[in-house]
Amino acid sequence: MSREYCKIFAAEARAAPGFGEVPEIIPLYLIYRPANNIPYATLEEDLGKPLESYCSREWGCAGAVTASSSSEAMQKCQTFQHWLYQWTNGSFLVTDLAGVDWKMTDVQIATKLRGYQGLKESCFPALLDQFASSHQCNAYCELLGLTPLKGPEVAHPQAKAKGSKSPSAGRKSSQLSPQPQKKGLPSPQGTRKSAASSKAAPQASGPVAAQLLGQPPTQEEGSKAQGMR
């Protein structure tokens, strides 16, 4: 789940001019070993170097160092946290980001609501409020147009569980649908009924119509009327 959120973030970050490199959460594979006493295990890429911590729960999720003195990778990891926090309306956060260069691994999650995205219980809900109160926006937050977080009561007033539109889009409530609204077509049954009623309506004969108009019937029409009688 964290990797998929990071991929969405990367797509938006690459569209922002001058953003540069984007962190990636490497995939974690589940393997099955039937001959082993523990048949299931996880496997991931060996990054080849000791992991560098970019964000830890022990730092209050916002980082112990200031944005001006932190590395580019650390600042972008914090921007990813900010973006994800707003994307999920304060319900989900990725923390304990550590890795080598731009590849992150061994991440942890924090959730505000129980059952979010199928999770059985909430994880570290206090971290979400702590992040909102301690996060300091950096230049990459500004590049994505993220709204500064002033506190938990501002960041997630309703604590919605469903993800909303991207926070980079400005969340304009008056946005029109990208597809034009289709007007409802008339019911085919109504068309059939009107056609049937027009066929069923008897047509006035020539002599009768002439009498209604106050005109004498012609000789041909009169002979037809006598024949009908």
Helices (H), the chain: 2-15, 72-87, 126-134, 139-143, 152-155, 188-200, 206-212, 219-228
Answer for the pair 167, 146: CB distance below 8 angstroms, yes or no: yes
* Res. 171: pLDDT tops 50: no
Answer for the pair 114, 122: CB distance below 8 angstroms, yes or no: yes
* Res. 217: pLDDT tops 90: no
Average pLDDT of the segment spanning 176-202: 48
Polymer length of the chain: 229
Those residues whose C-beta lies under 8 Å from the C-beta of residue 154, and which sit 6 or more positions away, are: 132
User: What Rg do the C-alpha atoms of the chain give, in angstroms?
Assistant: 35
* Res. 7: pLDDT tops 60: yes
* Res. 35: pLDDT tops 70: yes
pLDDT score recorded for residue 144: 95
Decide: pTM greater than 0.85. no
* Residue range 46-86, pLDDT digits in tens: 999 999 999 887 754 444 444 445 789 999 999 999 999 99
* Residue range 111-136, pLDDT digits in tens: 887 777 777 777 888 889 899 988 99
| Mean pLDDT across the chain | 74
Question: In this predicted structure, which of 29-33, 92-96, 154-158, 190-194 has the lowest mean pLDDT?
Answer: 154-158
Domains and CATH numbers, the chain: 1-59+69-144 (3.20.200.10)
CA distance linking residue 166 with residue 146, whole number of Å = 10
* Res. 212: pLDDT tops 50: no
